C-alpha cells in the first residue's frame, strides 16, 4: 500500500535557510507542470501492482501558490488511478501569505482534509531574518481561516535554534502556537545547509546560531511545554493530540512504500528506490517525451533495508517494534547489531521497553549520533 506524495516546487521567493527542491519566479510553468504531473500519475499508476493509497500528501515548495483548481485536477487524477478510501488522510502544505479563506474552502471541497501551515516563528524579526514572506499575524490569520473553512486537522510547523533566538523567545512562540489548539505541531531545529544564503551570512559573521547547549535547552523545553499542552511526542520533531498523528509520515518512519510524483520526488516500492529529475523544466520535458522522469533507480539490499528500518523506526518515540522487525526480516535486531546496541545502552542512549527498542530522553537529544551507528 504505497502512500502518494505530490511535489509542487514553486515558491514566491526563496527563504534564506531553504535547500528544498523549490524555485522562485517560475509562475509561467505552473500550468505545464500540473499537466506533466497528471501524465506522470497516470503513467506510473498503470505500472504499480498495488494501487491502494491510504494517504496523499501535497508538499513543496509552496503548493498553495497554485490555483486550487489545479489541486482539484491533481486529486481527481489520483482518485482515478488509485484506490483511496473515504478515510484517507489528504494533506497540503500551506504558507500563510498564499492562502485566503476562499482558497481554503476550495481546497476542502477538492478533498483536502489536513492542512500543514508553515508558521516557522511567531516573531516578526526572526521571520524576516529567515527570509519568510509573511508576518506572525498572517500566520495566525491563516490558521483561523483554516478553521472557518472547515479544517479540523491542522499542523503548525515551527523552527527553533534561529540566530538571535532566546529560550524565552522560543517559549513565547511555542505557547502562542499551542494556544491556537492545533491538532499537530512539528518543531524542527534549524539546520544551516551548505549553499544557502543563511550559511553565507553566518560564515561572514553577520549572524550567529545559538550554541549547542541553548539548542538542547530549547528542545527539552519543547518536549515539556507541549506535553503540558496535551500533545503526545511521537516522533523526534513531531507532537500530536490524541489520534492526530500524521499517518502519511508514519509510513516513512515505518520504512513503508511511497510513490512520489513531480520534480525531485522520491519513491520506494519494495526494494526499489527511484528519484525524479529535480529541475521542473527538465521534468516537464521528460514527462512529455517519455511519460516518466526518473533520473536514478537503486536496488536496496537487505542490509540497506534493515539499517533504514532501524534508524527510521528509532525516530518514533515508541521506538522500533522488535516483533515486527523480526517478522519482516526473519532475524532479530540483536543478531545484527548486538555490539552497537549494547554500547548505546551503556551510554544511556537506547533502551528496550515493552517489546520496542527506543531512544532514551538523552538519546532523543542525540538522535543523529545514535542513527549513525546503524548505517
Ligand atoms: S517556503 Fe519552504 S520550500 Fe519555499 S523557499 Fe521557503 S522554506 Fe523553501
Mind listing the pLDDT tens digit for each residue in 195-252?
Answer: 999 999 999 999 999 999 999 999 999 999 999 999 999 999 999 999 999 999 999 9
The model's confidence at residue 354, banded by pLDDT at 50, 70 and 90, is confident
The model's confidence at residue 163, banded by pLDDT at 50, 70 and 90, is very high
Ligand 1 binding pocket (C-beta < 6 A) is 11, 14-15, 18, 20, 22, 60-62, 95
Which atom of ligand 1 is least distant from the CA of 132?
6
Mean pLDDT of 179-198: 97
Omega within 30 of 0 (cis) for the link into 61: yes
**pLDDT tens-digit readout, 120-159:** 999 999 999 999 999 999 999 999 999 999 999 999 999 9
Which atom of ligand 1 is least distant from the CA of 131?
6
Instruction: With a cut of 90, say whether residue 111 has pLDDT above it.
Output: yes
pLDDT value at residue 353 = 87
CA 63–ligand 1 middle distance (angstroms): 10
CATH 3.20.20.70 fits 3-252, yes or no: yes
CA 64–ligand 1 middle distance (angstroms): 12
Q: Any idea where the domains of the chain sit in the sequence?
A: 3-252, 306-372
Burial class of residue 188 in the structure, from the number of CB atoms within 10 Å of its CB (0-12 exposed, 13-18 middle, 19+ buried): middle
What are the φ and ψ backbone dihedral angles of 337, each rounded to 5 degrees? -125, 35
CA–CA separation, 63 vs 334, rounded Å?
43
**pLDDT tens-digit readout, 268-311:** 999 999 999 999 999 999 999 999 999 999 999 999 999 999 99
Which atom of ligand 1 is least distant from the CA of 17?
7
pLDDT value at residue 375 = 81
Q: Which residue's CA lies nearest to atom 3 of ligand 1?
A: 61
Question: Considering the domain 306-372 in this protein, what is its CATH number?
Answer: 1.10.10.920
CA–CA separation, 263 vs 151, rounded Å?
28
- Ligand 1 mutation pick, 10, 17, 20, 196, max ligand atoms within 8 A of CB: 20
| Percent of the residues in the chain that have a pLDDT greater than 70, as a whole number | 100
CA–CA separation, 306 vs 334, rounded Å?
12
Instruction: With a cut of 90, say whether residue 171 has pLDDT above it.
Output: yes
Mean pLDDT value across the chain:
96
Q: What is the largest CA-CA distance in the chain?
A: 57
The model's confidence at residue 357, banded by pLDDT at 50, 70 and 90, is very high
Amino acid at each position: 500500500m504505497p502512500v502518494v506524495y505530490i511535489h509542487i516546487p514553486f515558491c514566491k521567493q526563496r527563504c534564506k535557510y531553504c535547500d528544498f527542491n523549490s524555485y522562485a519566479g517560475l509562475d509561467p510553468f505552473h500550468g505545464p507542470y500540473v499537466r506533466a504531473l497528471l501524465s506522470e500519475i497516470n503513467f506510473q499508476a498503470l505500472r504499480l501492482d498495488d494501487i491502494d493509497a491510504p494517504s496523499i500528501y501535497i508538499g513543496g515548495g509552496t503548493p498553495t501558490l497554485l490555483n486550487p483548481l489545479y489541486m482539484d485536477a491533481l486529486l481527481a487524477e489520483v482518485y482515478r488511478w488509485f484506490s483511496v478510501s473515504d478515510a484517507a488522510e489528504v494533506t497540503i502544505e500551506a504558507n500563510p501569505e498564499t492562502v485566503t479563506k476562499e482558497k481554503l474552502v476550495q481546497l476542502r471541497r477538492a478533498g483536502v482534509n489536513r492542512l500543514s501551515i508553515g508558521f516557522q516563528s511567531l516573531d516578526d524579526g526572526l521571520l524576516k531574518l529567515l527570509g519568510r514572506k509573511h508576518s506572525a499575524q498572517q500566520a495566525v490569520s491563516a490558521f483561523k481561516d483554516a478553521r472557518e473553512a472547515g479544517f479540523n486537522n491542522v499542523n503548525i510547523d515551527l523552527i527553533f535554534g534561529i540566530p538571535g533566538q532566546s529560550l524565552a523567545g522560543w517559549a513565547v512562540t511555542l505557547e502562542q502556537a499551542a494556544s491556537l489548539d492545533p491538532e499537530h505541531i512539528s518543531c524542527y531545529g534549524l539546520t544551516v545547509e551548505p549553499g544557502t544564503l543563511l550559511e553565507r551570512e553566518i560564515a561572514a559573521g553577520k549572524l550567529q546560531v545559538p550554541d549547542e547547549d541553548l539548542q538542547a535547552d530549547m528542545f527539552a523545553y519543547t518536549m515539556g511545554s507541549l506535553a503540558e499542552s496535551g500533545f503526545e511526542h511521537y516522533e523526534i520533531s513531531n507532537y500530536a493530540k490524541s489520534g492526530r498523528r500524521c499517518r502519511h509520515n508514519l509510513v516513512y518512519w515505518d520504512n513503508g512504500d511511497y510513490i512520489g510524483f513531480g520534480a525531485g520526488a522520491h519513491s520506494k516500492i519494495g526494494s526499489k528506490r527511484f528519484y525524479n529529475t529535480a529541475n521542473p523544466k527538465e521534468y516537464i520535458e521528460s514527462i512529455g517525451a517519455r511519460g516518466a522522469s526518473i533520473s536514478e533507480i537503486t536496488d536496496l539490499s537487505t542490509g540497506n533495508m534493515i539499517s533504514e528500518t532501524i534508524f527510521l523506526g528509532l525516530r518514533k518515540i515508541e521506538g522500533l517494534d522488535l516483533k515486527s522487525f523480526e517478522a519482516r526480516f526473519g532475524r532479530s535486531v540483536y543478531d545484527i547489531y548486538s555490539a552497537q546496541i549494547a554500547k548505546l545502552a551503556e551510554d544511556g542512549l537506547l533502551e528496550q521497553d515493552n517489546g520496542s527498542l527506543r531512544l532514551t530522553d538523552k538519546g532523543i537529544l542525540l538522535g543523529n549520533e545514535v542513527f549513525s551507528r546503524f548505517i
